[in-house]
Amino acid sequence: MSPVLLAIISVTAIGLICAVVLAVASHFMGVPVNEKEVAIRECLPGANCGACGFTGCDGYAKALAEKEGIKTNLCVPGADAVAKKIADVLGVESEDVIEQVAFVHCAGDCYNHKQKHIYEGISSCRAAQMLYGGKGMCSHGCLGLGDCASVCPQDAICIENGIAHVDTRKCVGCGLCAKACPNHIIELFPDVTRVVVTCSNREKGASVRKKCSAGCIGCGLCARNCPQGAVSVVNNLAVIDYEKCIGCGVCREKCPTHAIRFADFSGRHRF
Amino acid sequence: METFKLMLKIIMTSVLVNNYVLSKFLGICPFLGVSKKLDQASGMGIAVIFVMLLATAATWPIQTYLLDPNGLGYLQTIVFILVIAALVQFVEIVLKKYIPSLHASLGVYLPLITTNCAVLGVTINNITDGYNFLESMVSSLGCGLGFLLAMVIFAGVRERMEEALPPKAFRGVPITLAAASIVSLAFYGFGGIVTSIFGE
């Protein structure tokens, strides 16, 4: 046999043996990939924001495919369209996503809020907060240096008159800003919320008055006048129970410092 | 005693003197690619040891009992690549099925080193050095350990480098390559250590 032929035959033979072994092995020992998981992962937006409570989109897809009873409407950025697609893949009833928007619990802008020192350090809320709790007299409020704005993937937060404002039309409710805020004054609200408390100060009324003219002084007028009993004052701060609230706005009218306002959640979600 | 001494000599030689990464410059791409974090680097190193041992166990008999008697020694490279690639794929399937925990920790690295030049280099050098089967296995173990050592050392260097501030033009790959060459230079200090310990 010529050397060329021998070489060709032997390499082909070895290749064939390897191929057969691999084919047999993958047939008998292959672990089936969960098709549902792949299909669900296709539906998800892939932003890996973590708003669903799982480790990114892959984690959510895996959990949905493998465990029973996980809600299909947890993907906030994907909204109804994604929830519906996932429900189709899993063959269950789809539920509407209640869109969430971030809201800053502070109205202490430069007109309302008194300053105690001038801060000229690193332009970061976290750094400013470490220096005597920030430049403002109130150490519970918005520091206005935009840590939330810098983490916002949607560019939905702007700093206006010294405090952060969320553009509810752009906000997708991922909650990154809430994690970034060193004073923890950003909270996610369901898009249907009507009234919100715009203060986070839990000090006594007289102390709040000295620091900020827009703060909640814990007078309790809102709680006494609410027809549904939805408002209560906890630790000198008004708290609204949104299970009971009907959005009538009486608390807003009665509040002497205008620390309860109508929520401006009139973004894309409602229409 | 004589065999033990020989084995120790082979291991010492392949870990310190003829280190595959730092002296022979084989397996540079995982060395630069996966050495950013210590845990990844050690995972990769352990996977390489595993694959080198397997590859040698498969290729040495093929060379000795199949290629050499038929005068096909020149097909070494292509056959070895074929066999190693198939073998690693096979091992990955088996691991995935029967030992998922090991697959979870090594799985990411296995496809990366399927046809890694260090693995191919070890198997071919074992043949050219004229080692018998046992010596080849010991030599592969030594080379794998050498790779692990190089990875771990370099991961340490890189973690320190992350905190340093080199001039802008040197940041990233250039400073990494410069550091790799300095680590390699340090390993040249081991030249002659084996002959001084064990004699010729």
The predicted complex's ipTM stands at 0.73
Element (H or E) spanning A156, and its range? none
**Nearest-by-CA chain A residue for B67:** A10
Q: pLDDT: is B193 or B140 the higher one?
A: B140
User: For chain A, what's the residue count?
Assistant: 271
pLDDT band at residue B113 using 50, 70 and 90 as cut-offs: confident
The full set of domain ranges for chain B reads 18-194
Q: Which of B90, B101, B102, B103 to mutate to test the interface with A (most CBs of A within 10 A)?
A: B90
Q: Which fold has domain A35-90?
A: 3-methyladenine DNA Glycosylase II; Chain A, domain 3 (1.10.15)
Shared fold status for A35-90 and A100-262: no
Measured between beta carbons, which residues in chain B are less than 8 angstroms from residue A15?
Answer: 82
Which residue does chain B place closest to A12, by CA atoms? Answer: B79
Q: Whole-angstrom Cα distance, residue B135 to residue B196?
A: 21
Residues of A in contact with B66 (CB under 8 A): 10
Q: What is the pLDDT along chain A (271 residues), one digit of tens a residue?
A: 688 888 899 889 989 999 999 888 888 877 776 777 888 888 888 777 777 777 777 778 888 887 777 777 777 777 777 888 888 887 777 666 677 888 889 888 888 888 888 888 888 898 888 888 888 888 888 998 988 998 888 888 988 888 898 888 888 888 888 888 999 999 888 877 778 898 988 888 888 888 888 889 988 888 898 888 889 898 889 988 888 888 888 888 888 888 888 877 754 444 3
pLDDT at B108: 65
Q: What is the dihedral of CA B111, B117, B122, B124, to 10 degrees?
A: 120
- Decide if B28 contacts B193 (C-beta within 8 A): no
Burial classification of residue B181, based on how many CB atoms lie within 10 Å of its CB (0-12 exposed, 13-18 middle, 19 or more buried): exposed
Interface of B with A in 68-87 (CB under 8 A): 70-72, 74-75, 78-79, 82-83, 85-86
Q: What is the pLDDT of residue A108?
A: 86
Boundaries of every domain in chain A: 35-90, 100-262
- Structure confidence at residue B59 (pLDDT): 92
Is B78–A11 a contact, with Cβ atoms under 8 angstroms apart?
A: yes
Q: What is the DSSP letter of B112?
A: G
Chain B residues with CB inside 8 Å of A11's CB? 75, 78-79, 82
Q: Tell me the range of A168-172, B82-86, B100-104, B138-142 where mean pLDDT is highest.
A: B138-142
The residue in chain A having the minimum alpha-carbon distance to the alpha carbon of residue B73 is: A7
Q: Which residues of A133-160 are buried (b: 16+ CB within 10 A; e: fewer)?
A: bbbbbbebbbbbbbbbbeebebebbebe
The pLDDT of residue A269 is: 43
pLDDT at B5 over 60: yes
- Sequence-separated (6 or more) residues with CB below 8 Å from residue A217: A205, A206, A208, A209, A236, A256, A257, A259
In A, minimum Cα distance to B66 occurs at A10
Residue A108's φ and ψ, nearest 5 degrees, are -80, 65
Distance from CA of A5 to the nearest CA of B (A): 11
Architecture of the domain spanning A100-262: 2-Layer Sandwich (3.30)
Contact A10 B86 (CB under 8 A): no
Strand A157-160, strand A163-166: pairing:
antiparallel
DSSP A115: B
